[in-house]
């Protein structure tokens, strides 16, 4: 995303083909014409008042019913048509959000709060959709109808229309003031909602600690305080909204009473007839019915504008992908190297996080067919160096050669499809065991049926049907050992040339560790295998042990 581009709700509208927008506009204009026409037919029917309610009068009434029914049907049809084009536009936005999420630099993702990303993909996305929907459905049509009805009233009585314009202007000013006064409290409540969401997640994460008697009383007090603050923010918002809503209701009632007395005065002065005044009241009821959705639409669009600011910040996060002009171009954005990784040489690599240096002038030479055991105390840079090798992090300094060819660091991502990582904290997602094992595999079902049965027998959880058992959020329905074995099986099923195992023995029993060691030894011929471990468990199969020391 370029610095000059800013994402707004109109960015979504601009993605809708012009032909679809024009068809929606045509339906809206037809609806508007009929909505303006049927009050004119009413005026014609009652001016002058009929002396008898005979057949022609009922024919006119039937015609009026047909016209406003057709107007309502067109409104319904336009709404359904708008749903379709808004759905298509929002799907394109959702795809764009996904591409940005999938292309985020690893460090940018890790530094983003999970609750922020969740709200962005759900709440803020929905606010954008609501704002666009209201804009298409209400703003243009309601504005034209309100102006037409005011013009009709002006034709009947200049005094009345001036009074209505002044009154509605004051009500509109009060409505704008209401939104300005309540908006900061709404924003504060949305922030409080996010904080409460984060607290609820942390609360659930502490469950196992509660079962060990840890911090139950302290957490109860904290939960009470968090909830009280959350409720306080909500109550402040509701009180302010109620206060201004009461003022709006009072002002509306004052305007209605004043309109009634003005009408009586105009009838007595001869400027309006009684039936014309009744028609004016009828027209005002139509205006009111359109002003309410109009104001709702405008404020929904304002809400969408605020959500768009969040999305704009998200689109500006560092991405590995170059901006593309079309979805077709994006399909080629994830380029892949076709030659296998046979050797990797890193020279004088330096890397620092914002708060501390981690790696200084580290050099490595890695070749296919070898198992490398990385050892060192915590914070020595082992996992960071692994992330550099996988293309997740770019070092501050250093040189890279792949297969004997000097290579720019960003091009490491071209070999990413040939890499596999089993991290200390395994990655599982909501789905079945089978879904997690085969995720991303190009021939998933064939691999499932033809895969090594011994690996399946040793690594899949016992008495849990892999095709139906749900692992839960982040693998929460599994034990630590089960989760790690499933992640291990997934990576062993992948056709990779660089395998990184970060503390792979965590949560594994002796049988699984022995199976892992045998499997690694069998796989090493056509792979570069890196094992990060504090233990001596892999000393007997490692071809080279590399020591890492803190900076």
The least confident of 238-242, 287-291, 357-361 is 287-291
The encoded tokens of residue 210 equal 């509660």
User: What confidence score (pLDDT) does residue 343 get?
Assistant: 93
- The alpha carbons of the chain give a radius of gyration, in whole angstroms, of 34
* pLDDT exceeds cutoff 80 at 360: yes
* pLDDT exceeds cutoff 90 at 30: no
For 313-355, what is each residue's pLDDT tens digit? 888 888 887 655 444 444 444 557 778 889 999 999 999 988 8
pLDDT level of residue 453 (50, 70, 90 thresholds): confident
The mean pLDDT of 275-301, rounded to a whole number, is 82
Per-position DSSP letters for 194-213, written without gaps between them: HHHHHHHHHHHHTHHHHTTT
The mean pLDDT of 370-374, rounded to a whole number, is 94
The mean pLDDT of 106-124, rounded to a whole number, is 81
Q: Report phi then psi at 421, rounded to 5.
A: -130, 130
| Maximal C-alpha separation, the chain | 110
* pLDDT exceeds cutoff 80 at 461: yes
Stated as kind and residue range, the H or E segment containing 546 is: strand 544-547
Burial per residue of 320-357, b for 16 or more beta-carbon CB atoms within 10 angstroms, e otherwise: bbeeeeeeeebeeeeeebeebbeebbbeebebeeeeee
User: What confidence score (pLDDT) does residue 53 get?
Assistant: 60
Cβ proximity of 534 and 481 under 8 Å = no
* pLDDT exceeds cutoff 90 at 90: no
- Distance (Å, whole) CA 61 – CA 498: 80
* pLDDT exceeds cutoff 70 at 292: yes
What percent of the chain has pLDDT above 90? 21
User: What confidence score (pLDDT) does residue 512 get?
Assistant: 79
User: What confidence score (pLDDT) does residue 352 get?
Assistant: 93
User: What confidence score (pLDDT) does residue 326 get?
Assistant: 46
* pLDDT exceeds cutoff 60 at 445: yes
Residues 6+ apart with CB under 8 A from 292: none
The mean pLDDT of 28-44, rounded to a whole number, is 82
User: What confidence score (pLDDT) does residue 171 get?
Assistant: 85
User: What confidence score (pLDDT) does residue 48 get?
Assistant: 66
User: What confidence score (pLDDT) does residue 54 get?
Assistant: 61
pLDDT level of residue 365 (50, 70, 90 thresholds): very high
For 132-157, what is each residue's pLDDT tens digit? 888 887 777 888 888 888 888 898 88
User: What confidence score (pLDDT) does residue 49 get?
Assistant: 59
User: What confidence score (pLDDT) does residue 240 get?
Assistant: 92
Most confident of 200-204, 208-212, 344-348: 344-348
User: What confidence score (pLDDT) does residue 132 get?
Assistant: 86
For 392-407, what is each residue's pLDDT tens digit? 899 999 999 999 999 9
Most confident of 136-145, 182-191, 233-242, 460-469: 233-242
The least confident of 39-43, 55-59, 383-387, 397-401 is 55-59
pLDDT level of residue 414 (50, 70, 90 thresholds): confident
The mean pLDDT of 285-312, rounded to a whole number, is 82
Q: E strands, 149-233, where? A: none
User: What confidence score (pLDDT) does residue 330 get?
Assistant: 42
Strand order, beta sheet including 528-532:
419-422, 498-502, 528-532, 370-375, 544-547
For 419-437, what is each residue's pLDDT tens digit? 888 888 888 888 899 998 8
For 483-501, what is each residue's pLDDT tens digit? 888 888 888 888 789 999 9
Q: What is the mean pLDDT of the chain?
A: 84
Q: Residue 481: which of 507, 515, 520 has the closest Cα?
A: 507
- Distance (Å, whole) CA 43 – CA 332: 64
Predicted TM-score of the model (pTM): 0.75
Report in angstroms the alpha-carbon separations of 336 from 103, 150, 229, 330, 357: 14, 64, 51, 14, 31
């Amino acid at each position: 995303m370029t610095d000059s581009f800013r994402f707004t709700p109109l960015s979504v509208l601009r993605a809708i083909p012009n032909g679809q927008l024009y068809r929606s506009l045509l339906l809206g204009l037809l609806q508007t014409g009929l909505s303006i026409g049927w009050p004119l037919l009413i005026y014609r029917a009652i001016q002058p008042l009929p002396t008898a309610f005979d057949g022609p009068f009922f024919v006119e009434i039937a015609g009026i019913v047909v016209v406003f029914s057709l107007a309502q049907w067109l409104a319904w049809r336009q709404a359904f048509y708008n749903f379709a084009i808004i759905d298509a536009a929002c799907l394109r936005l959702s795809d764009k959000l996904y591409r940005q999420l999938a292309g985020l630099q690893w460090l940018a993702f890790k530094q983003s709060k999970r609750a922020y990303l969740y709200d962005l993909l759900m709440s803020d996305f929905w606010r954008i959709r609501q704002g666009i929907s209201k804009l298409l459905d209400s703003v243009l049509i309601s504005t034209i109808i309100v102006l037409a009805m005011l013009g009709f009233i002006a034709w009947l009585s200049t005094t009345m229309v001036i009074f209505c314009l002044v009154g509605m202007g004051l009500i509109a000013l009060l409505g704008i003031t209401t939104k300005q006064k309540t908006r900061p409290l709404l924003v504060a409540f949305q922030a409080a909602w996010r904080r409460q969401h984060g607290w609820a997640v942390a609360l659930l994460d502490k469950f196992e600690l509660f079962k060990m008697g840890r911090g139950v009383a302290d957490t109860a007090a904290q939960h009470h305080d968090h909830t009280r603050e959350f409720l306080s923010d909500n109550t402040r918002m509701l009180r302010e909204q109620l206060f201004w809503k009461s003022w709006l209701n009072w002002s509306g009632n004052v305007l209605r009473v004043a309109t009634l007395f003005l009408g009586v005065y105009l009838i007595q002065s001869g400027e309006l007839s009684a039936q014309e005044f009744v028609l004016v009241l009828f027209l005002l009821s139509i205006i009111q019915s359109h002003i309410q959705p109009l104001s709702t639409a405008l404020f929904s669009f304002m809400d969408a504008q605020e959500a768009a600011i969040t999305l704009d910040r998200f689109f500006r996060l560092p991405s590995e992908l170059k901006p593309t002009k079309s979805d077709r171009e994006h399909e080629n954005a994830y380029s892949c190297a076709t030659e296998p990784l046979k050797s990797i040489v890193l020279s004088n690599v330096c890397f620092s996080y914002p708060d501390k240096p981690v790696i200084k002038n580290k050099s490595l030479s890695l070749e296919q067919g070898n198992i490398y055991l990385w050892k060192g105390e915590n914070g020595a840079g082992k996992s960071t160096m692994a992330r550099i090798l996988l293309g997740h992090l770019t070092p501050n300094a250093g040189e890279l050669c792949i297969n004997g060819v000097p290579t720019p660091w960003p091009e490491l991502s071209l070999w990413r499809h040939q890499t596999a990582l089993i991290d200390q904290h395994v990655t599982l997602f909501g789905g079945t065991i089978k879904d997690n094992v085969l995720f991303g595999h190009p021939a998933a079902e064939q691999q499932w049926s033809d895969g090594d049965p011994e690996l399946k027998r040793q690594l899949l959880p016992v008495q849990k049907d892999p095709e139906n058992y749900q692992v839960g959020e982040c693998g929460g329905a599994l034990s630590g050992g089960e989760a790690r074995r499933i992640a291990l099986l997934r990576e062993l099923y992948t056709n990779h040339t660089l395998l990184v195992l970060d503390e792979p023995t965590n949560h594994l029993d002796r049988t699984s560790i022995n199976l892992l060691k045998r499997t690694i030894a069998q796989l090493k011929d056509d792979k570069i295998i890196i094992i990060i471990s504090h233990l001596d468990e892999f000393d007997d199969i490692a071809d080279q042990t590399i020591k890492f020391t803190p900076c």
